[in-house]
Amino acid sequence: MENLVFIIKQAAALGLVIFLAALIVISRDRSAGYRAALEEYRFKIPFLASAGLYIYARLPWNFDSYNRKIRAKIADLYGQRRADIFFTVHMAQKIALVMALAFIFMMVSLLGNVDRSFYFFAVLIIVLVYYQTDAELDKKLKQKKRDIIIDLAGFINTLALMINAGLPFSAAVLKAVRDSDRERPLYKEVNFMLSEISAGKPAARAYEDMAFRCKVPEVTRFVSAVLQNLNRGNRDMVYVLRTLAQEAWDKRKDLARKQGEEASTKLVFPMVMVFVAIAIIVLAPAMQSMGR
């Protein structure tokens, strides 16, 4: 009887492997149109990306308030125009992680001896990972805002220097973007704003939309100051930009100080563990000798 159960479990495990392999083969072309988005999103399990996209396209999803919040965060990260693409990639990521974990837990349950508590913790881990993927969006948004604050002071200071040298404001913005790392969030947003203006969008509306996309108070103040002083001449603009640059530098210093405090806080637990380990190594021989 035990041999029969073992054979059935092995057959089920083999069937599970064949099913997963067949799913990967069937869906292999699904990710063709998402390759750039998958790379930018940093998909965690690339070989399951096609399977995740394939399953997502065939499941009925309810866009409740929770999913709408997730999509809003994705729009803040990647832009409103690409929100649908990256929302699909994000959901495929969740599906791929659930598939991978479910496959591992099922293989362990089929090929090993597990009790009922194993299934409880397996389901719990899968649910936690499913929602932890959404929580990572908050970390990405926080990092994006930090990167914008870090780059903003240098960007404004560069504008002030070039305008003081005689360049018009629009030309100074264009040159500052061209001479920078366009993959950085701030310069991505400014470059997108310039492309909107080139396409015929009013400059004031383009600047306001950029501030809305960034959702950083310092960028909003920069945009407001630019729109108020754009027609007053370079002298007034340089003064305003230097004031804003100083405020941005102060904000960047505060951010660096907070990051240092967070790093020192994170080191407390490892230091305590190291202290405990050293105490055990030092005191264990002494206690053994006392026991003798």
Structure tokens, 105: 């837990």
Tens digit of pLDDT at every position of the chain (292 positions): 556 666 777 787 778 788 888 888 888 888 888 888 888 888 888 888 898 898 888 887 666 777 888 888 888 888 888 888 999 999 999 999 999 988 888 888 877 777 778 888 888 988 998 888 888 888 888 888 888 888 888 888 888 888 888 888 888 888 888 888 778 888 888 888 888 888 888 888 888 888 888 888 888 888 888 888 766 655 677 888 888 888 888 888 887 777 666 656 666 666 767 766 676 666 666 666 665 5
Structure tokens, 44: 């965690």
Alpha carbon 247 to its chain centroid, in Å, reads: 27
CA-based nearest residue to 136, from 26, 216, 41: 41
> Are 108 and 114 within 8 A, CB to CB?
yes
Residue for token pair 């409103």:
80
Return the ∠ at Cα 245 (arms to 239 and 249), rounded to 5°: 150
> Are 159 and 173 within 8 A, CB to CB?
yes
Model confidence pTM above 0.85: no
> Are 225 and 240 within 8 A, CB to CB?
yes
> Are 75 and 85 within 8 A, CB to CB?
no
Neighbouring residues of 10: CB distance < 8 A, sequence distance ≥ 6: 110, 111
Helices (H) and strands (E) in the chain, counts: 12, 0
234-266 and 217-229 are packed helices; what angle lies between their axes, rounded to 10 degrees?
180
> Are 94 and 67 within 8 A, CB to CB?
no
Which pLDDT does position 281 carry in this prediction? 67
Classify residue 183 by its DSSP letter.
T
CA-based nearest residue to 86, from 140, 22, 40: 40
> Are 111 and 9 within 8 A, CB to CB?
yes
3-state secondary structure of 66: helix
Which pLDDT does position 93 carry in this prediction? 92
Q: What residue type is assigned to position 250 of the chain?
A: D
Structure tokens, 230: 């754009």
CA-based nearest residue to 16, from 119, 96, 103: 103
Neighbouring residues of 137: CB distance < 8 A, sequence distance ≥ 6: 70, 73, 74, 77, 90
> Are 72 and 213 within 8 A, CB to CB?
no
